[in-house]
Amino acid sequence: MFAETAAREGVGLDDAAAKPGHEALRHGDIVATAAACDDWDRFAVTCNGAVQEQLAAFASSRWPYVELEPWIFRLDCRPAGGALVMVRPLPIKLGQVAICKWGPLLKDETADDAPAHHKLMAGALRQIYATQRGMMLSVLPRAEPSAGNFASSNLQSLGFWAGAQLSYPDRYLVNVRLDDDAAIKSLEQKWRYNLRRSFRHGLQFEAGGPEQLDEFDALYQAMSDRKRFADYSAYDTLGWFMDAIVPEARPRLFFVRKDGGLVAGAVVFICGRTAVYLYGATNAQALPLCAGYFMHWHIIRWLRDNTRAHW
């Protein structure tokens, strides 16, 4: 869901102009503090709602023509979360639009009061950008594994309305905290069949580091040339992103090999409770080997055993 507002009524923010550079801006019980981009990234990766679109290192390379405005929100002097907002001028300088993708982030999204904290933060953004600065504010809430999405409900209750939908709206979420038996049982029959086939081919799985990005890139470029598809993703910014981001939030690389030769690879952003599958690539050998099934299965197990990711 994509929500937008151009609300005019106030909801209690201090009268000071709500722009980065001011120490603290109060919205009800919540205090919003503008942060430098580097400080924001160091804070954002400590939030268990962290996602790559909310990191300045990612956004600055993906959307280089926007102004980045990070905010940290506190309740009772303790961080409750934050948001990275991108400000972009409208055509012929008719105004500006503020965009928050997959935010605001919650410091603890498992807390009982997490929905209430999210609503306070969204309300503060609405007041800062729509009411005081007269901008159109667009917020894209993150997909959730539950039947309901409290972020969408909060935005609607604050006066946001549904805007343009994503071209490819489906998101697939997998619980990575299950043990092997429960995880196998959770898979569809065809998935289990292909996974078991992959076990017969002598494949090897490995977790790699940023120094192996060239190896993945060669596989990705070969796949793109083979399939001849138009790539509108942010793949060309990946190398810069991995160099610029705080080290603990750098995406991880995963590889599958057959007799030492690379047949499949993936890049996964691992920070907070939700890991994000960013890019994957295979060569012509991968399909008969069911290497994609093998790789995804072992990524799930690796996340369970080595990270705090739940999804």
Cα 130 to the center of its chain, rounded Å: 24
Whether residue 169 is contained in a domain is answered as no
pLDDT of 68 reads 97
Q: Is the pLDDT of residue 166 over 90?
A: no
Q: Based on the domain organization, do 148 and 184 belong to the same domain?
A: no
Q: Is the pLDDT of residue 50 over 60?
A: yes
Residue found by looking up tokens 């290192």 in the block = 57
The 10s digit of each residue's pLDDT in 224-253 is: 888 777 777 888 888 888 887 788 788 999
Q: What is the DSSP string of 250-264?
A: PPEEEEEEETTEEEE
* List of residues 6+ apart from 109 with CB closer than 8 A: 48, 49, 273
The tally of domains found in the chain comes to 2
pLDDT of 23 reads 53
Q: Based on the domain organization, do 77 and 147 belong to the same domain?
A: yes
Q: Based on the domain organization, do 47 and 144 belong to the same domain?
A: yes
Q: Is the pLDDT of residue 101 over 90?
A: yes
Domain that holds residue 62: 3-162
Q: Based on the domain organization, do 192 and 129 belong to the same domain?
A: no
Give the C-alpha separation, 177 to 243, whole Å. 30
The 10s digit of each residue's pLDDT in 14-29 is: 333 344 444 567 877 8
Q: Taking the model in full, what pTM does it have?
A: 0.85
Q: Based on the domain organization, do 13 and 69 belong to the same domain?
A: yes
Give the C-alpha separation, 80 to 123, whole Å. 14
14 or 100, higher pLDDT: 100
Q: Based on the domain organization, do 151 and 187 belong to the same domain?
A: no
Cis ω before 104 (30° cut-off from 0): yes
Q: Based on the domain organization, do 80 and 34 belong to the same domain?
A: yes
CA end-to-end distance (rounded Å), the chain: 20
Residue 133: how many CB atoms within 10 A of its CB?
16
* List of residues 6+ apart from 293 with CB closer than 8 A: 191, 194, 195, 197, 198
pLDDT of 246 reads 81
Q: Based on the domain organization, do 188 and 123 belong to the same domain?
A: no
91 or 301, higher pLDDT: 301
pLDDT of 243 reads 82
Query: In the chain, where do the E strands start and end?
Result: 3-5, 25-27, 30-34, 67-75, 78-89, 96-101, 105-106, 136-140, 161-162, 203-208, 252-258, 261-269, 276-282
Asked if residues 256 and 263 have their Cβ atoms less than 8 Å apart, the reply is yes
* List of residues 6+ apart from 84 with CB closer than 8 A: 40, 44, 53, 54, 55, 56, 59, 68, 69, 70, 71, 100, 103
